[in-house]
Structures are given as structure tokens and as C-alpha cells.
Structure 1
Amino acid sequence: MKITILSMCLLLIVSCKKEKTETSHSNSSRDSLLLKNDSLKVQNDSVKTIAYIKKEYGNINNLLTSKKLDSTTFSYNCNEREGEVTLYYQNNKLKMVKDFYAEHSHFSSATKYFVKDDQVFFIFNEETVWNFADGGTPEKPETKDDIKEKRIYILDYKVAQCFEKNYSILSKGNNQDPKSIANKETKCDISELMKKYDLILKNKDKKDVNCL
């Protein structure tokens, strides 16, 4: 009788230990899975990679194309430089800023700042210098636009990558498709562009500004 009772006690002890071990292992596995999922969520919701920048850039461009963003505009005129700034919003959150200006010296510049959570993550800058080309008539002269494009990827307020493309467009036509021209990786400094961006934000509620 004593042997039977002792055997039953030992069996209960072993069963409890096994159940405790299995429960502990199950909880540990579930906690690890939750931690892994949380880590992925943080990574996916942050501008931390070039791939994410490209995705967010595409999302904003789609909103612009479908005209789903609100906008405000102001102009500026300073030292023979005439410009216009347009700010685009979604639910009162700034998504993109476009700054275009032209100078009397045959030069113009267009810069687009793409924004997420009040942080610029991508800049597209296009500078154009135009001149008269050979051919044409005094009434209808031929012109040539020399264009420089820059695509700037920004992570944590620093340039992560910068690409440049140069090409020309003749008014008489027969031009190479700019999309077929490869971008070349280069180094670039965004300090002046960001100074301009900060000035834009300071003047965003005005209609006309003397200088930027």
C-alpha cells in the first residue's frame, strides 16, 4: 500500500514538472515571436532604408498625380530672381514642397522636397541653362536646354546617396529620351538646399516674399 501511494506521488511530481517546462517553453516562444514582430513593425514604419524612401516617394507622387493633396502657394522676387513655392499637404501634414525660380541669365531651377513626419527624406533638383543653338531664323531661333538632375536620398538628416544625370534638349526635336540616360552616383552637399527649405517653412503663411 505504501509503495502504491509513493509511486502515485512520484508520478504527480514528474507530471507537474513536465507541464511547467512545456508552459515555460510555450511562453518563451510566443514572447520571442512578439518581439520579432514588434522589431519588424518599428523597421517598417521608419525611414531607415533606401528601399523605404523609394516606396514613400512613389506614394506621394501617386497622391500628387491623383490630386489628393491640398496646396498653398506664395511667390518671391529678389535680385532678378522670380520664384514660386507650392506646399502640399495631406490631413494638414506636409508631404512635399516645390520651389521653382528663374533668373534673367537663361537659368532656372526646380527643387522638390519630399517630407515624412516633418523630415525631408528625398530631394529632386533640376537645373536648366538655355542658349541659342545653330540653325533657325531670327523670327524663330533654335534653342538648346542643358539640364542637370540630382536625386538625393536622405537618412537621419544626412545624405545617404546622390545621383546625377546630365543631358541636352534641342528645340528642333530629335532628342534622346532622358529616361534612357543612366544616373551616375556622385557626392553632393545639401546645406544650401536645406537652408532654402528652412526659409520656405518660415515664410509658408505669406503670399509674397521679397527674398528667399
Structure 2
Amino acid sequence: MKSGILLLATASVTLAAPVDDSIAQIREQYAIINEADLEWETLKPPFEDIVEGDFKRGSGGGKLRKSVLSLVTSDHGGSSTEIYYNPAGDPIFLFENSSYWTFTQKENETKDNVTEHRIYFKDGKIIQALEKNYEFLNEDEKASAAEKAQNKPIATNAQTSQRFLPTLLDLKTAAAPKIVVLSDELSRAMDRLEEGVIPLDNDAWGVMKLPRKIAMTPATQDSKSAAFAMLLEMQVIQEGEDVEQPNSYDFDVLERTDRSAVVAVTLSGMQDDEIESVRYRVEMRLEDEMWILKDLRQQMKKWPDRAIDGQVEWFKP
């Protein structure tokens, strides 16, 4: 792999003044962190399909300030993800550089293709997300190509933030084996940066019949795990290859209070000639230290070549 981590430079983007001020403050914070003499801990997670990978945590004054996940893949590519934390332990900035190289039509000539993401967080929300794409033929062209490329703003929402924040917080203390799982979660969240809002309106979902014996699971499980456990208990989904493969399932916490939760569980890449993805809306309440299923609904999405003209992407069966 030829590409390395690039400088955290961003093109100018027109912003509302309060957001602009917040981003300026975040940039000041991560500049200070990068200049600090941090104490580093290096972990070697047991990645199976990665040529080389490690995870580093950098601390200053006894507090985690930065972590770096570096991966080299077998397809001439790799990525580096830097996560910055404020003194309270909240994520404030994420910088991802992913790249791959290919041969050109000239003998022994290669070309690097780079995608950068910059995501700014404040008060548990994404306040700005940017994407930049560029390519270059040799190291001498890299800096110029990166400078000329424009950052494209990405529209985000509360659900986008929820896909990132639990993973970024778990990475602060996770042991090496857990980092493998969290790395997959982070990759899926990045893939879904531009995904729209999942509807909360019940009318957008097809009703599924509940079992005679209401499904339940211990309150010790977080809402995502509880929703998945209930679908397994009801045999709506099966524990097996389909849900164990990377990028085949995702979770979105649509609503959450102290005593209730609404979670969307999405299964993609279905082994079906017509349906590509199915997602379930699981509504639960906490009663007597148990998650109790209150309502279950469903949406489907067809494979692109099977969709009917004019049909919405997600539909209720």
C-alpha cells in the first residue's frame, strides 16, 4: 500500500456562525492533542481478513485524548481512522483516510485513489461531516492533489450520530478481541453516512403478528442486543451465516427513554431472488427488569433490477 495518513486540512465551507465557531474550537483542540507528548498503548486485534492491523490509544494527564485504528487489506488498500476526545471523554472529531492503488495502462505505473472523511461532534451529535476524493500517480503529486480536492458536505441526522457514538465510546476501553467487532461497526457506520432517516411513523411499516407468549429478554442487555434477541426468540430471524457476515445487519436506535426503546434491525444481502433487504421495527418497554416486546413491524427493499418503476426504495409488505 502506497498511501499514508494525510494532514488534517479542510477546504473552506460556508457554515452558520455557531457551527463555524464550534468547528474552529474543535480544530484547536485536535491541534493541541497532535502536538502533545501522549503516552501510547498499542493493541494487536485478532483480525482474520486483514493483512496487518493495530489499534493505538494515546493518553495525556491520565485521560484518553486520541485513538488510531490502522488497517492494511489484501486488495491493495487500507485505512487509518483517527478519533479525538475532549477531557470529559466525549468524541469531538473523526478523521478517516481510506485508499487503494491500481495499475494504470503504462507499464509498472500505479495510481492511488483516496477518500477522506472528517466528522465533527458536539454534545453527542454530528455538527458537520465532510468527504473528499482525489487520486495521484506518485508521492510528489499527493500533497497537491489533496489540496486541490474539494470537501463535499454530507447531510446527517440524529440517527447518523447514533450509528457512530456508541462505537466510538466503546473503543475507549475495549480489549483487542472486541476491537475487531467495533472496527466492523465503525466501517458500517461510515458506509451509511449518506443514508436517510429511518421513518418513525407506524404507518410506514407493515404490522407483524405477535406471538401468543410475548417475547422478553433481561434488562441487562442494551436496547440493540435486546431487539436482536427478541427477533431470534420469535424465530423471525435465524442465528446463522446470513447475520454473521460483515455488513449483513445493522442496528439503529430510533427512540430511547429510561423505560422504553424503539430499535430498527436491518438485514441486507438476503438470499432471495427478489428481496435484497428487510428491516424490523422493534418497540420495547422495561417492565420488572425485563425488556418486553410491545410492537413489531417490517419493511422490505427489492434488489435494484427487481424494483418496479416508481416504487419507493423501502416499502411495507
| Correspondent of 2:127 among 160, 174, 184 | 160
**TM-score, length-scaled by structure 2:** 0.44
Moved more, 75-84 or 160-169: 75-84
**One-letter code of the match for 1:131?**
T
Cα 1:129–1:190, aligned 2, differ >3 Å: closer, same or farther?
A: farther
Describe how 1:49-68 pairs up with structure 2 within 5 A.
Answer: 49-63=22-36, 68=37
Cα 1:94–1:55, aligned 2, differ >3 Å: closer, same or farther?
A: same
Q: Tell me if 1:86 matches 2:86.
A: no
**The structure with more radius of gyration:** 1
Cα 1:127–1:52, aligned 2, differ >3 Å: closer, same or farther?
A: same
More helix by share: 1
CA distance in 1 between counterparts of 2:180 and 2:136 reads: 31
CA distance in 1 between counterparts of 2:109 and 2:53 reads: 26
CA distance in 2 between counterparts of 1:196 and 1:84 reads: 17
CA distance in 1 between counterparts of 2:111 and 2:34 reads: 29
In structure 2, the residue matched to 1:31 is none
In structure 1, the residue matched to 2:180 is 211
Q: Tell me if 1:128 matches 2:96.
A: no
Q: Residues 131 and 154 of structure 2 are in contact (CA less than 8 Å); yes or no, is this contact kept in structure 1?
A: yes
In structure 2, the residue matched to 1:184 is 152
**One-letter code of the match for 2:33?**
I
Deviation at 1:197?
Answer: 3.1
In structure 2, the residue matched to 1:17 is none
Deviation at 1:193?
Answer: 4.8
CA distance in 2 between counterparts of 1:120 and 1:145 reads: 30
Percent identity for Structure 1 against Structure 2 = 24
Deviation at 1:195?
Answer: 5.3
CA distance in 2 between counterparts of 1:135 and 1:173 reads: 18
Cα 1:121–1:172, aligned 2, differ >3 Å: closer, same or farther?
A: closer
CA distance in 2 between counterparts of 1:159 and 1:100 reads: 23
The CA RMSD over aligned residues, in Å, is 2.5
CA distance in 1 between counterparts of 2:178 and 2:121 reads: 28
Cα 1:106–1:195, aligned 2, differ >3 Å: closer, same or farther?
A: farther
CA distance in 2 between counterparts of 1:50 and 1:172 reads: 30
Cα 1:167–1:191, aligned 2, differ >3 Å: closer, same or farther?
A: farther
Q: Tell me if 1:106 matches 2:46.
A: no
Q: Residues 142 and 172 of structure 1 are in contact (CA less than 8 Å); yes or no, is this contact kept in structure 2?
A: no
Q: Residues 114 and 122 of structure 1 are in contact (CA less than 8 Å); yes or no, is this contact kept in structure 2?
A: yes
Cα 1:173–1:209, aligned 2, differ >3 Å: closer, same or farther?
A: same
Structure 1, unmatched stretches of 5+, are 1-47
Cα 1:192–1:171, aligned 2, differ >3 Å: closer, same or farther?
A: farther
Structure 2, unmatched stretches of 5+, are 1-20, 182-317
Q: Residues 103 and 110 of structure 2 are in contact (CA less than 8 Å); yes or no, is this contact kept in structure 1?
A: yes
* Secondary structure at the counterpart of residue 49 of structure 1: helix
* Secondary structure at the counterpart of residue 106 of structure 2: strand
Aligned length: 155
* Secondary structure at the counterpart of residue 178 of structure 1: helix
Q: Residues 55 and 67 of structure 2 are in contact (CA less than 8 Å); yes or no, is this contact kept in structure 1?
A: yes
**One-letter code of the match for 1:97?**
S
**TM-score, length-scaled by structure 1:** 0.64
